[in-house]
Structure 1
Amino acid sequence: MEHRPGAASRVPSAGQIQVERLGHKWGRAKLPKLGWVRFRFSRPLGGQIRSATVSFKAGRWFVSFLVDDQAATPDGHAMANTAVGVDRGVRTAVVTSDGEFFDRPFITAGERVRCRRLQQRLARQKKGSTNRRKTIMAMAQIMSRVSNRRGDFCAKTAAHLVSKNALVALEDLRTRNMTASASGTVDAPGVNVVQKQGLNQAILDKGWHRLELALTNAARYTGTRVVKVYPAYTSQRCHACGFVTEGNRESQAVFVCKNPGCGNTDHADVNAAKNIKAAGQAVSACGDLGTGRSVKQEPGSRATGQAT
């Protein structure tokens, strides 16, 4: 197999795979063309092996097994009629309608400095050189640790949310479209390119899509239903009275309803999460409300549900 980042080989037949434990932490697997390979158990297999994938990432080899754990999705959640709305942000990764905040730094200050120096070194090195490959590998090792922390955060946050709630509502965010390049073309150059690059990096750093995948995966074990709702105006609408205006959100964190008869105040992200929860409950109760009606007329009117 090639020693290049992302190189992978899959063994789709369980009959070609043998796995033996050598101790508490170590084991070995017999794979076609590779023979017996020794590996470290990061977790118990916990089921019947269906396939195996050998991959190369950040200078290290990994073997992962697809297993059938015989677990069935429950017919209902243990805590029926519980629900939560989840607002994903660039300042705080996850804020819920219950007022919980989930966030953590995925890269340390030292790693950030190290990565910047490696990028500067890479710019000076000749393409195809041995030193350039070493620099790329060093950068990959740093980013691999960052990615592992992000995956751990998303998995733990998802497990916490689905264990407590029968319904989890998310905004239906098109992350790939939102992080598209703003550089434009030679004939039509982009505007605010630097600002857009910073926003794109912040969105990707918080792992919005990875959290969605983690929720969908974890929900299979608890019977939680994950629904996605139309995101427009969730940050501008007052949860208490439904009044919508851009002026309601005074800053990134402060929400003050400008309706003279209301005056509700809340953390802006918590208010948005409450709106997402209300829209998600509407979808759960009534099904898809369609995409042709204005969200201003009815909260969540363009929401779509996704059962898990």
Structure 2
Amino acid sequence: MDDQAHAARTMWNLLHEWWTMLPRERRSPAAADRAIRQARKDIDWLGVLPAQAAQAVLKAYLQAWNSCWAGRAGEPKFKARFRTVMSVDIPQGRDLHIIRVHRRWGLVNIPKIGRVRFHWTKDLPVGKRAGKENRITGARLVNDALGWHIAFRVQTLERGQEHHARPEVGIDVGINVPLALSDGTTYGHDKWLTEREMTELLRLEQRAAHRRRFQKHREKTSKRLRATYDRIQALRARAKRRHLDWQHQTTTDIAKKYGTVVVEALQITSMVRSARGTVDQPGKNVVQKTGLNRAINGEAWGRTVEMLDYKTARNGGTLAKVPASGTSQRCSACGFTTSGSRESQAVFVCKNPNCGWSGNADHNASRNVLHLYRMGLALIPAAGRAVARRARRVKPTTAR
């Protein structure tokens, strides 16, 4: 599997060099397909990669360019060996021949490798449960710091969910309180690594820094240093898995309980911008801002919103976004807004002499988020704005 993953990465790089070298008028999927077939004949070790997996590389590369031309992503780039996730795509499900041995293990056929045992973690449509409307269409092999994993692509036919009469809720995301809901509910978590694991991670990072001091410029990384890096990556991968598990459980619970979920339209990229500044105008509190940026990135707010988006739709609900400005400074009781109302990270005290309401700052912000939605200030998605602009450009016609 390692050989196939390296061959797939090399195939991508060769295809990228070939595509960017040719003039535009000579670029076409058919020409790229012929180039891939010729490369598998000329370079022996590229033949380790199955032909259909090589076609999947071509398909992914063309999709990357389509996303670039549509403005959804940047241009495809060269895949470096140590910065790229090793993966192999199996585009056809009929080649897998999945068999469930017992409740914990199953067997799958991987092209040019054979039968491989895998840990059965979720029900799959195999045997009598498989059909035209519920079947496995392919798989993807992915290698991370914890080993090789297989993810199956399943095609199912789901009935459209009707909108259920469930309550509305506003959500405020934070660091100390990851998710605060407008009805007073909070969702928190502990540290993703235990104290023992954190101590081990710190010790390994110090060991790697010490060994890196003796490495000369452009010298190949030693086996000991690479083994240390592997152990560090394994601990970080374990923390990421725990984070993903918490996000999935939390977002599933919210999507089942509430019909309309309202979140802030945060510009996370701007929020985590460095405060270092320039030589002429150096930044202030750079260390504190760096720690805040690291904490924001660690919470992965964008991934939480993406999960809420498709899970609310799956459960017959909707996800709405409202402007984020002023939600933490407005009093949810009287509507008075001032910058000095938030006395601390957790306490909000209204400065209006006729109000004086005080409470949890995160719950206050989440109630303001829900208030903006009820006032009709929900933001229109980018696709909806494009449709609205096209509709305004069309001149109305009158019947005679």
Could you state the TM-score of these two structures normalised by the residue count of structure 1? 0.86
User: Which is strand-richer, 1 or 2?
Assistant: 1
Aligned 8 A contact 1:27 1:38 in 2? yes
- Check 1:34–1:182 CA distance in 2 against 1; reply closer, same or farther (3 A cut): farther
2:336 is the alignment partner of 1:243: yes
Residue type of the partner of 1:15?
R
Separation (CA, whole Å) in 2 of partners of 1:119 and 1:265: 44
**2:122 counterpart residue number:** 43
The range that moved more, 233-242 or 123-132, is 123-132
Q: CA deviation at 1:254?
A: 0.9
**1:163 counterpart residue number:** 256
Work out which structure has the larger RCO, using CA pairs closer than 8 Å and 6 or more positions apart in sequence.
1
Q: After TM superposition, list the pairs within 5 Å mapping 1:221-260 onto structure 2.
A: 221-260=314-353
**2:184 counterpart residue number:** 99
2:102 is the alignment partner of 1:23: yes
Q: CA deviation at 1:55?
A: 0.6
Percent identity over the alignment?
35
Residue type of the partner of 1:154?
Q
Aligned 8 A contact 1:227 1:305 in 2? no
What secondary structure sits across from 2:266 in the alignment? coil
- Check 1:122–1:188 CA distance in 2 against 1; reply closer, same or farther (3 A cut): farther
Q: CA deviation at 1:262?
A: 1.5
Q: CA deviation at 1:267?
A: 0.6
Separation (CA, whole Å) in 2 of partners of 1:129 and 1:212: 41
2:195 is the alignment partner of 1:109: yes
**2:161 counterpart residue number:** 74
**1:277 counterpart residue number:** 370
RMSD of equivalent CA atoms? 2.2
Q: Deviations over 1:197-216 (max 9, x none)?
A: 11111112223122112212
Q: CA deviation at 1:135?
A: 0.9
Residue type of the partner of 1:97?
S
Separation (CA, whole Å) in 2 of partners of 1:239 and 1:306: 29
Separation (CA, whole Å) in 1 of partners of 2:367 and 2:170: 6
**1:140 counterpart residue number:** 233
Gapped regions of structure 2 (runs ≥ 5):
7-80, 126-133, 384-400
Aligned 8 A contact 1:150 1:207 in 2? no
Aligned 8 A contact 2:146 2:237 in 1? no
Q: Deviations over 1:253-295 (max 9, x none)?
A: 1111111222222210000000111222334xxxxxxxxxxxx
- Check 1:56–1:184 CA distance in 2 against 1; reply closer, same or farther (3 A cut): farther
Q: Deviations over 1:23-70 (max 9, x none)?
A: 111111123333322111111125421221101111400000111232
**1:12 counterpart residue number:** 91
Residue type of the partner of 1:145?
R
Q: Deviations over 1:126-177 (max 9, x none)?
A: 3611111111111111111111111111111111111111100111112233
- Check 1:48–1:183 CA distance in 2 against 1; reply closer, same or farther (3 A cut): farther
Aligned 8 A contact 1:227 1:306 in 2? no
Q: CA deviation at 1:184?
A: 4.6
- Check 1:28–1:88 CA distance in 2 against 1; reply closer, same or farther (3 A cut): same
Gapped regions of structure 1 (runs ≥ 5):
284-299
What secondary structure sits across from 2:326 in the alignment? coil
Separation (CA, whole Å) in 2 of partners of 1:187 and 1:61: 49
Aligned 8 A contact 1:230 1:304 in 2? no
Q: Deviations over 1:83-110 (max 9, x none)?
A: 0011100111111001111111222222
User: Which is helix-richer, 1 or 2?
Assistant: 2
Separation (CA, whole Å) in 2 of partners of 1:38 and 1:253: 50
